Amino acid sequence: MSVSIRFLPEDITVAATVGEPLLDVADRAGVSIPTGCLMGSCHACTVELDGEEIVRACIYSVPPGRQQLTVNVFSDPTW
């Protein structure tokens, strides 16, 4: 089942599969999410989902049960 992932602020939408790491999806979309530790502890990769949920992209995969997801990539230098 494919999920449509929309990246903001670039406004690029790509198809992804459930369970695919978010960083891989971003890579495919040509969107760069800042990363540091890649282990979920530095918060460099923090993104916002659907304007309501804050997650760390490096430890997040495309969730089941939805058809689309909006990922807002912050460029906040304080993270």
- At its nearest, how many Å lie between ligand FES and the CB of residue 56? 4
- Which lies closer to ligand FES via its Cβ, residue 29 or residue 33? 33
Residue 43 to residue 16: CA distance in whole angstroms:
23
Number of H helices, E strands in the chain: 1, 5
Contact 49, 55 (CB under 8 A): yes
- At its nearest, how many Å lie between ligand FES and the CB of residue 67? 26
Which residues of this protein are in contact with ligand FES, per CB under 6 A?
A: 35-38, 40-45, 56, 58
- Which lies closer to ligand FES via its Cβ, residue 33 or residue 67? 33
- Which lies closer to ligand FES via its Cβ, residue 65 or residue 77? 77
